[in-house]
Structure 1
Amino acid sequence: MSHDTSTETIPQRAEAIATAARAGAKAWSGVGLAERRALLQQFAGLVEEHASEWVRIATEIKGLTPGTPPVGEEWISGPWATLYYAGHLAQTLVRMEQGGAPTDGFDIRPVPGDRVAVEVLPHSVWDRLLLSGFSAEVWCEPGVSADEVRSTAGLGLREPEAVRGTCVVLGAGNIFSIAPLDVLYVLYADNRSGALKLNPVTDRLLPVLEAIFAPFIELGAVQVFTSDLELGAAVIAHDGIDAVHMTGSEATHDAIVWGAGAEGAANKAAGTPVLRKPITSELGGVAPVIVAPGRWSKRDLEFQARHVATMRLHNSGSNCVAGQVVVLSKDWKQKDEFLAALRRAFADAPARPAWYPGTPGRIDAARSGATPFEEVGGTPERTLLPTLDPREDEAAYSMEFFGPVLGVTELPGTGAEFLGQAIDFANDRLRGTLGANIVIHPRDLKAVGEDRFEQLLAGLRYGTIAVNAWTAVGYLSPFATWGAFPGHTPDDIQSGHGVVHNGLLLQRPERTVVRGPFRPFPRSWATGSMALTPVPPWFAHNRTAHITGERLVRFSIAPGWLKLPKVFASALRG
């Protein structure tokens, strides 16, 4: 419950937040599985109820024109992503309430490297219709058996009464479902109370977030607050806070863990962190888009160019998993045709502001290197770096631009040889391990062979890998995991530590592998795919994204056959 904090000092406010978090953890320990599911369902209803206000505020924050297709990004990456996750997490609770395991009804198969994979998408008839042609698997760490996956799934819900204390969630400022989804994960997977500190960009969403979390706030398990840097630091440091989860930059993570400035650098060099409590994090990185050479039709070139442009231009490039470096084969006969189509896709995508704070400076930094750049049109900020040298330490390989800047580099080879070199390049030269994308024609995939292709995927060290899809589909998939590839250490954190989402509450996930159709419906059928998905609503060029996005929200709160025709009608017009 909100109260007047205008006369309180920073230590007093931090004390109040920590005290409330402690009381909330105790209250949460008394909430069993059935009541936790009921709270989640109430939450979902409130998301749908307040979705229009959520999107209206998001539209204003990002400088979008109401009622235009770019607003669809806010419907899909805001209320719909949140609703979609809440509904699927509730399914996990139902299975556990009934004495089953979260993985009951999910196929598990062996994959390369002594791993097993849990098939998590599609899982329902609605998945098969709304995301027709898309699939996802969670690959577990090497050595984890199928039996272990089944027997350990559930995380904090295995003993809901054994609450693990309190957690401060440092909310992201770019995609507005991140903060509420992170809080749900803290509550249900980590089994802690959650104190959500908003990013200053999202302060205006405080009333909406308080409204959708009202059942949890009334219980005391959640609180939401705006803050400046000083209050945030005081809350994090408070003894009443047991853990921290953050979404943000690597620099912010290091300032929290090691301290700021020269003192922080010295602490990091000495291995003496100032934060002595667990921290999980999702920190973005430089995401590759590996384009396998092949023989493509003109329509394939145009569609996949728009696909790659979407990976960069969605949210004006202010995404932790925005594609940043396109890796092409210098031996691809259609390379120049594809680059021409990519330039057109950038120029033709609907204009939207480069709205995120600091974007102009990051674009200037991207353009100021030795590599030539092109202003490709559409908006003044859209930039192509067409000739990145794979042998040099280009800034694009280490700096996350977080804006509409896309680089291109070239490697030799075709087929499996090219894929192997591109994977080594991504692993060894690009900063971070959050997401990697591969675009490959089904004919060329068949030539490589499925077994060999999966071996190549096993060697690609990223937390989400998307084949003929964008890794954002992994973010949207509730049973998939979202986070860096495991193994980063606090002194070299790169894309972070730990995962979120993970609606099956798997204990030792390693990565998510997403696959999509190479062509949209109806052309998908020409490649042997029965996918029914037209141009996806998250594509930057989709003409009805705002309509489809809202209809997906209204559908998700109460799925039904009578609602499907309107969703499909809008999607097909996109």
Structure 2
Amino acid sequence: MSSTMAVTTADSSELPPIYNKALNHLLQEDTPPLATLPDQEVLSIAKEILQAIYSQQWSEADQWPAQEAALYKLPGSAALNSAAASKFVMCTALMDYVRTFIEGLEYKVLGDKDKEEPPELLKKKRCVGEDVVVYGPVSLSATLPGNTFEVWTSSSDENTGKHTSKQKDKVQSFTTNDTKRVAVVLGAGNQSFLGIIDVLDNTLRHRRPVLLKHHPLRPWLAAPYAIILEPLATRGYFSQCQDVSIQVTKMLLSHPAVKHVHITGAYSTAKAVEEILMQANNSELSSSQVKSMITSELGCATPQIIDDGDYTTKELSHIAQMIACGKKTNCGSNCLSPQVVVLPKSWKQKHLFREKLLQELERQPTTPCYYPGSLEKNRSLVEDCKRFGSKCIIAVAPSVSAETKITEDDHVVVVECGTPGQKGYNSQPLLVEAFGPTLSIVELDDSNNNSSSSSQDDGMYLANFAVPFLNNKENIFGSLSCSIFIPKSKGPSYHESEPFQKVLSALNYGSIAINQMSLFGYTASTKGGIWGGHSLETLGQSGNGNIGDLYGIIGDGNCTAAKVVLYGPSLETKPLLDNSSPPPPVVLDVIRELICTDSIMKGVGKALVLICRRMFYAGISYLPILGRLVGDN
């Protein structure tokens, strides 16, 4: 937009100039409100964004992958692995999200008119019980073979009061022709792709113009984001600015044009934002209306639920490998990092599993805990547990590379919490999000389960003990995601059985992974699923609202209880991820070149160019050695 166009001046002289400039860019009166744009125009914007992703000009902008590796305190070979993985994850997450959004909107616009085939997820539909509708399963990704997911929904019923929404009294902020409305996205501090997905979800899906305030840990994301989001920025629907101070952020959120805030972060941050908005809108809005102005993806004491039954040694090893990998990735500073291992007290293999878990935690390498406050928080948590009398075991492991320095505090500490309701039980590690290298084990007392072994195979332990314990938020923090592990001995179709389906229906977590790491639940949100805390968890510990729903399955108010159920392959299958043997950077780069394109031939061509370039530079690097050998001869 031209700088000579009329604007609605940001009414906040105390804000720094960069903030006023960013706000004014979004408040131009000549800019059509994003909420009123025709779907075809939004499709055009999305397709331009996809082409910007394909260009890969963003992949080294401001050397952000190297700066991220430096943030992670990773030098040398570990830095190269980190950079390649970061670019790969950013690329696949963005491509999946935008491609799925385009497919969903094209079906909405063209479906009936042109007899367009519905997306695969919408073709498969079944019912579980009286009020649960399940869409899927469909393949999660071509790069994740053997993994499928479903979207489970429950219709709201205002008359019966079932599945009461947390947002009945909403502020409809972006549905009019008023241009004086802006959404603020507070960038995440722990992953580089989260902020831009949050921006896309707010602009494309919810049609809100967005001002992104970057997290102070990741200022260098401004460069790649600017390239990818240029189609939104040039139309006046996106601007970004760096963090200045907490006080400036408070002033920004209090600006009269800010009608929505999205947060990916901590529960305490979300509560602080709510207080700021309450003060800014105290005379105009009710408490519930202010809460409806905030969407958030917060943390969780992510449970890893081991079903009872007979596991092979290989199955136990693979469960341990997945839990250890999830815990040690990013040194546990992820909202979906495994935190609580939930075991049946009477399970005969529990001691063997503990051995396998400790072996994996000691085998997979340790990375430095870079996130501010993480080490201090977890050190304090472990010290409190020791004073309480809980057994705490440090799983000492090698560093991720010879050049990377780690300390004893960086290693995972396993805390034995005991059994709820029995002497010596320590609930403290379950009631907070560790966001660091602490892993707890709790045993649920299933001694009252007088069922026969055959009925136990029908999910009685999960239904009678695990689900009630986990759904009660006095027992464990959050409802974002969890994993359930079940042995092959229960039969290949056990997950389809009615008792197990009832368990899935009853478990109030936003994403449930079966025999898989819960991190792939986020992947599902970019493919038509959702990501967010469960809506029936009314405390909001894991946030409010969701990311995804790109086919409109949930919609706005049509469904108030929804979740994603992800199915991994058999536990006999070797897990995809292992921190001790990450894919070589060149492999990730080649795959990225192959898939980050709108044409297979283009992808093959770019991959071949990359391979030739790497071979050339590798050959050049050996010339000094060759010269010395020739000279010696």
Alignment TM-score, normalising by the size of structure 2: 0.75
State the SS of the aligned residue for 1:471: coil
Mapped pair 1:93 → 2:105: yes
For residue 570 of structure 2, the aligned residue among 518, 524, 529 is 518
For 1:138, the equivalent position in structure 2 comes to 151
- Mapped to 2, the partners of 1:133 and 1:229 lie a distance apart of 45
User: CA deviation digits over 1:328-368, x for unaligned, max 9?
Assistant: 12222222221111111111112311111111111112211
Instruction: Find the aligned partners of 1:288 and 1:140 in 2 and give their Cα distance.
Output: 22
2:330 matches 1:315: yes
Write out aligned runs for 1:253-272 (5 A).
Answer: 253-259=270-276
1:138-537 paired onto structure 2 within 5 Å? 138-142=151-155, 165-227=181-243, 228-259=245-276, 278-368=293-383, 369=385, 370=388, 371-378=390-397, 380=408, 381=410, 382-391=412-421, 392=425, 394-413=427-446, 415=457, 416-420=459-463, 421-428=465-472, 429-444=475-490, 446=493, 450-477=497-524, 478=526, 479-489=528-538, 492-506=539-553, 507=555, 508=559, 510-519=562-571, 524=573, 535-536=575-576
Tell me the alpha carbon deviations over residues 121-162 of structure 1, each in whole angstroms, 9 at most, x when there is no partner.
Answer: 327xxx3x4222111111112459xxxxxxxxxxx9x99999
SS of the residue corresponding to residue 188 of structure 1 reads helix
Give, in angstroms, the shift of residue 166 of structure 1. Answer: 2.1
The count of aligned residue pairs is 527
Aligned 8 A contact 1:14 1:238 in 2: no
Rg larger in structure: 2
Aligned mates of 2:587, 2:550 — CA distance in 1: 24
SS of 1:242 mapped into structure 2 = strand
Give the Cα separation in 2 of the matches to 1:430 and 1:389.
13
Deviates more, 1:447-456 or 1:459-468: 447-456
| 1:346 aligned counterpart, secondary structure | helix
Give yes or no for contact 2:154–2:562 (8 Å, CA) kept in 1: yes
Is 1:557 the counterpart of 2:596? The answer is yes
Residues 1:51 and 2:62 are matched in the alignment: no
Deviation string 1:184-231 (CA, Å, 9 cap, x unpaired) is: 110122111111111111112222222221221111111111122122
Which structure carries more relative contact order (alpha carbon 8 Å, separation 6+)? 1
Of stretches 133-142 and 78-87 in structure 1, the one that deviates more from structure 2 is 78-87
The unaligned stretches of length 5 or more in structure 2 are: 4-12, 158-171, 398-405, 447-455, 612-633
Give CA deviations for 1:85-130 in whole Å, capped at 9, x if unaligned.
Answer: 122222223223324599554212112351111226327xxx3x42
Contact 2:211 2:239 in 1 (8 A): yes
CA contact (8 A) 2:392 2:416 kept: yes
**In 2: Cα distance, 1:556 partner to 1:35 partner:** 26
Counterparts of 1:348 and 1:233 in 2: how far apart (Å)?
A: 45
| Percent identity of equivalent pairs | 22
- Cα 1:241–1:325 change in 2 (3 A) is same
Aligned counterparts of 1:461 and 1:159: Cα–Cα separation in 2: 31
Deviation string 1:409-458 (CA, Å, 9 cap, x unpaired) is 11244542321211222111111110111011133265686111010111
Q: Distance in 2 between matches of 1:21 and 1:517?
A: 46
CA distance in 2, matches of 1:103, 1:67: 45
Q: 1:78 to 1:357 in 2, by over 3 A?
A: farther
CA distance in 2: counterparts of 1:259 and 1:102, whole angstroms:
46
Q: Secondary structure at the match of 1:399?
A: coil
The whole-number CA distance in structure 2 between the counterparts of 1:458 and 1:333 is: 28
* TM-score, structure 1 normalization: 0.83
Q: In 2 relative to 1, CA 449–42 (structure 1 residues): closer, same or farther, beyond 3 Å?
A: closer
Does 177-186 or 439-448 show the bigger shift?
439-448
Cα contact 1:14–1:234 (8 A) shared by 2: no
- Give the direction of change, closer, same or farther, for the CA distance of 1:485–1:504 in structure 2 (3 Å limit): same
| Equivalent AA in structure 2 for residue 419 of structure 1 | L
Distance of 2:596 and 2:433 partners within structure 1:
36
Cα deviations across residues 227-246 of structure 1 (Å, max 9, x unaligned)? 22122211111111111111
CA offset digits 1:396-420 (Å, max 9, x no partner): 1111010121111112445423212
Q: Where do 1:32-111 residues align within 5 Å?
A: 32-47=38-53, 48-52=56-60, 53-65=63-75, 67-68=77-78, 69-71=81-83, 73-100=85-112, 104-105=119-120, 106=122, 107-111=124-128
Does the 8 A contact of 1:43 with 1:212 survive in 2? yes
3-state DSSP class of the match of 2:570? coil
- SS in structure 2 at match of 1:373: strand
Query: How far 1:474 moved relative to its partner?
Result: 1.5
User: CA separation in 2, counterparts of 1:159 and 1:119?
Assistant: 31
Alpha-carbon distance change, 331 to 547 in structure 1, aligned in 2, over 3 angstroms: farther
